[in-house]
Amino acid sequence: MVAGVLAALRRVHLVVAALALCIMVCEPQVRRYGDRIQVVLPMVAWACAAAEGRGKELALRFAGVFVAAHASKRLLGDAPMNLRPGGGDHGFPSAHTAAAAFGASALVHDCIAGHPVARALVVISAAFVGGSRIEVGAHDLWQVLAGGFLGWGGDRVLRADSPLRRRIAASLTQAGRRARRGLRRMGRMASRGLATAFGRRRGLALPLLLLAVLVLPAQPLRAEQVLSIYSGAQGAADSRIEDSLGSFITGWEGHSLKSPPYYGLRLTRWRPDGIGYGFEINHAKVYSDDPASHGYDRLEFTDGLNIVTVNLWKRWPALRSGLVPYVGAGLGVAVPHVDIQPAGEAHTFGYQLTGPAAQIVAGASYPLAGNWSLFGEVKGTWSRHRVDLDSGGVLRTEITTHAVNFGLNWQF
């Protein structure tokens, strides 16, 4: 019982510390506070869920909320309900509020259920995110309420023990049975064909049998999961920008340590054969080195290019020095925080899903005590961006970043 109380208190401290740190490192602006809190709440909820073995399930539900919010924005186009009060479209629902509501719901029901003060703090934080979106003219009340309902529904309605999810699972199971019956019939037909082929080519039977024994494992391989966090020095190559007035080439600056800082989070599942796969968020950022010369008051992606990728990894056995080398590559999407303002025109400020992204990585880790290890690596990312401007029109560019990272791994 005492151990349970202590564990609960540690979770409360984690939540409070994360919110406090979020406010401390943020610029003192309502919009910035909301931008940070809508990221912190679901991340802390995921950390609590991962500690209890529910991290994958929660991440999948959050991905569903994210996809639903941005699909709605795209599908509604220039419908009145999708227009933002401050100008521009893609307003319904508020994705900021959806993310905050999802994280808050998961925290108050699972992570800090026995602590009313902490629960109240989390709910107030989520409500603040919605209010901040109204305050800065990014969304109206109904768009914020829709985002809150979507986030809450993604956590409560689609969780493992909900009746709706059970009905969906039952429907999928039934469909799966039908598919398996069809596959069995196809298999029987294929078997008869193979039997005929082997009868004609008996010399093929033994080589194919040996190949199957060598390639297919006799039993499932045990895997390990690793959570990684890193920062470092990040820059970017010059790139061409196309807008309504034409095209030009701009240089980019990284300013890795300037708030908001450059960082990344990575979750990897390693198999004993040295192959890994996982998910990563890379909070790279770029500032135009001379926006005024191109007709802009602001031209930057400084609260993250936010490269979200699914990765494939290969690592080798430890060297005599203890270093464990690895390489990896990933494909995904870019969800940058756009901060662009043509001179004297409307300011585009917020997250957008702008296009595809990819990354390559090479590095090495070094074991520490227990389940911890240090790592260093070089990373390159590429991302394509189509940005809808609140001033009208579209901005297009491709950005290539390069970085030297140092970080910490936790195996669990």
The residue assigned the tokens 């025109």 is: 345
**How many Å apart are CA 334 and CA 381, to the nearest integer?**
10
CA-wise closest residue to 286 among 206, 380, 173, 400: 400
Q: Which two tokens stand for residue 85?
A: 């009060």
Q: Are 123 and 129 in contact (CB under 8 A)?
A: no
pLDDT value, residue 204 = 46
Rg (CA), the chain: 25
CA-wise closest residue to 286 among 271, 299, 276, 272: 299
pLDDT value, residue 337 = 92
Q: Are 361 and 309 in contact (CB under 8 A)?
A: no
pLDDT value, residue 205 = 46
CA-wise closest residue to 50 among 264, 278, 232: 278
pTM of the model: 0.54
> What's the pLDDT tens digit per position in 340-376?
999 989 999 988 999 999 999 999 999 998 889 999 9
DSSP state of 4: H
For residue 283, CA distances in Å to 56, 79, 150, 232, 356 come to 21, 32, 25, 11, 15
The helix/strand/coil state of 395 is strand
pLDDT value, residue 227 = 93
**How many Å apart are CA 362 and CA 327, to the nearest integer?**
4
- pLDDT in single tens digits along all 412 residues of the chain: 434 443 544 566 666 666 665 555 555 566 677 788 888 888 888 888 888 888 888 888 888 888 888 888 888 877 888 888 888 888 888 999 999 999 888 888 888 877 777 788 888 888 888 888 888 888 888 888 998 888 888 887 776 666 666 666 666 667 667 766 766 666 565 556 545 544 444 444 444 444 444 444 444 445 789 999 999 999 999 999 999 888 999 999 998 888 888 999 999 999 999 999 999 999 999 999 999 999 999 999 988 899 999 999 999 999 998 999 999 999 999 999 999 999 989 999 988 999 999 999 999 999 998 889 999 999 999 999 999 999 889 999 999 999 999 999 999 8
pLDDT value, residue 53 = 82
- Of the CATH numbers 3.30.450.90, 2.40.160.20, 3.10.129.10, 3.30.70.141, which one belongs to the domain with range 224-411? 2.40.160.20
The 252-253 sheet, strands edge to edge: 252-253, 286-288, 296-301, 337-342, 348-351
**How many Å apart are CA 107 and CA 17, to the nearest integer?**
14
**How many Å apart are CA 119 and CA 14, to the nearest integer?**
13
CA-wise closest residue to 266 among 321, 345, 326: 326
Q: Which two tokens stand for residue 139?
A: 């969304």
pLDDT value, residue 244 = 85
Q: What single string gives the DSSP state of each residue in 329-345?
A: EEEEEE--EEEEEETTS
**How many Å apart are CA 270 and CA 278, to the nearest integer?**
9
| H-helix or E-strand spanning residue 131 | helix 116-135
Q: Are 403 and 309 in contact (CB under 8 A)?
A: no
Residues present in the chain in total? 412
- For residue 311, the tally of other CB atoms under 10 A from its CB is 19
pLDDT value, residue 206 = 47
The residue type of 183 is L
**How many Å apart are CA 394 and CA 36, to the nearest integer?**
26
Cis peptide before 261 (omega within 30 of 0): no
pLDDT value, residue 190 = 52
pLDDT value, residue 81 = 84
The residue type of 66 is F
